Chain A
Amino acid sequence: MAVVPAFLMVQLSLAHREVAGLWSPGFELTQYRQLATPLFARIMGFSLMLALAGALICVSLALPAAYFITRMRRRAQVAWLVFLLGSLSLSEVLIVFAFQVLLSTSGTLAGALTTVGLLAPGASLYPNFPAVLTCLVYLLLPYVILFFYPALSQLDPEVEQAAATMGASRLSTFTRVVLPMMRGQILTGVLLVVIFTFGAYLTPLVLGRPPQWTIAIHINNAAMGAGNLPLAAAYAVSVVAFMVALLVLTRVLSRRKASEA
């Protein structure tokens, strides 16, 4: 039930496209030839850039946040976990909608920025690149914090105490002791953000303009709008291939880092 659809998708990407959203089985590379265009490269490049920017922000916020949370008392920790799980599970539809309300011209944020003079009167805070990026960070932050949580809570407090007795400040303990131990986790966290960003559909659609559309929107447009399932499948296969390549890359990187350490 899980493997069959995957094979089907590869088959579909090689199939022959017929009119009116139909297709017949075949083996042709027409769809892939359509992908070998600057447009596709640009979409992939933009998706990757967005993903890496999101990953940078998420990881640099999530790492200290998760670290502080793991060192709290039980009650506070549980409260944070409930809060994070609750916001993590909220539908992308809702978050995008909430951001729309928050960023709208009649909203407080726009009003405040206009009063301060940072924003021209009547100007909107979306659709644009910062809006897409902020919303993605919002969606991913709880996810990444919870991803770092197990590893950070496993760190032996004695190691940090040892560093402290040897005269290390809290900050240098964090950067010199905790961060190196988390290298593999951090790389995987970046990968998670990248995977999610490539799959994100609603955020760039609603909060961005066409230049900010990620690969997911183009897949969906090909499948649902143009009725060209084989092309959508070819897009999807390329994305998965790209993900696998990234996965292998992070594995190699974290192994090399581990052997250096």
Chain B
Amino acid sequence: MSLSPGVLLRQGFLALIALFLAAPLIVVVSVSFNATRRMSFPPTEFSLRWYRAFFSDYGWMASLERSLTIAGLAALVSVAVALPITYAIWRYQAKVAALLAGIGGALFLIPGVVAALMLSAFWGVTGHVGRLENVVLSHAIVLLGIPLSLLMVGFRTIDQAQVEAAYTMGARDSDAFRMVVRPAMTPYILCAFVFVFVLSINEYLIAYMVAGFTVQTLPIKIFANMRQGYEPTMCVAAVIFMAMGFSAFALMSKVADLPRLMGRTRPLED
């Protein structure tokens, strides 16, 4: 392709978008390597001291561990709920399952603060307040729309003819599941898990309103520190988030067909 004005304009536009999206991240990453306590950009002197401070601080490590636990369990629960629902829709065209999926998808469209309020009222009424499992279940429910839609994409890629062939050759449901469905679905299940995990670990408002006083997750701790003023270890926490998010999705792109997962059905040549 020659460098016509149109191409230049297009590349410039995309570069600006990328710069806009990257700018705050670049600032935070470079400030985290700064030697001084003051927030100054560009950094003056390279140092790892805030990383050492972060990893030897009991409070930060406890929050990190708590966040990882919540995210892991929430991802597990929401995938475990979404899998039978989507399987029933795909295999038996089950109406009930479709209704459940509809509710799960609708939840995703509720403004975050409203969902948070609903859930905190729910836990308040059940008298089960300020517990870790509240956050786990709340995240699993609110994020349910993600595994539902990703797994549906996955099931649609399975060739029905292949399943029929398995049945004609005398396979039972469990055999067909093991031989056709499971291998085809494994990358999608993995992606759904990673997606929910990453979103859960980053979520602030629901975690805060459901159990914020007793269960301090990493975002809650960052925000609490933010109100007390600037501290370089916060940047380190932020960098950890970014590293986790970007590597999770990079990994996902290796395991699965990312364009297809994001809704492209038209084939894409290399």
**B-contacting residues of A (Cβ < 8 Å)?**
1-6, 8-9, 12, 61, 64-65, 68-70, 73-75, 77-78, 81-87, 89-102, 104, 106-108, 138, 141-142, 146, 149-151, 153-154, 170, 195-196, 198-202, 206, 215-216, 219-220, 223-224, 229, 232-233, 236, 239-240, 243
Q: Which of A64, A95, A146, A201 contacts B112 (CB 8 A)?
A: A201
- CB atoms of A82 and B209 under 8 A apart: no
With A78-B259, A97-B28, A106-B38 as known contacts, state yes or no: A9 contacts B209, CB within 8 Å.
no
Nearest-neighbour CB distance to chain B for A36, whole angstroms, equals: 20
Closest partner residue, chain A, to B212 (CB atom): A224
Q: Please indicate the chain B residues that have their CB under 8 angstroms from the CB of A94 in the complex.
A: 28, 202, 219, 222, 238, 241-242
- CB atoms of B262 and A81 under 8 A apart: yes
What are 16 A-B pairs at a CB distance below 8 A? A5-B118, A5-B119, A5-B121, A8-B118, A8-B125, A82-B249, A82-B252, A89-B202, A91-B203, A93-B204, A96-B226, A99-B24, A101-B31, A108-B41, A236-B117, A240-B111
- CB atoms of A202 and B21 under 8 A apart: no
- CB atoms of B246 and A229 under 8 A apart: no
Nearest-neighbour CB distance to chain B for A246, whole angstroms, equals: 11
Chain B 84-104 per-residue mask, 1 if CB under 8 angstroms from chain A, else 0: 000000000000000000011
**A-contacting residues of B (Cβ < 8 Å)?**
6, 10, 13-14, 17-18, 20-25, 27-28, 31, 38-42, 103-104, 107, 109-115, 117-122, 124-125, 137, 141, 144, 195, 198-199, 201-205, 209, 219, 222-223, 226, 234-235, 238, 241-242, 245-246, 248-250, 252-253, 258-259, 262-266, 268-270
List the count of A-B residue pairs having beta carbons below 8 Å apart.
222
- CB atoms of A74 and B270 under 8 A apart: yes
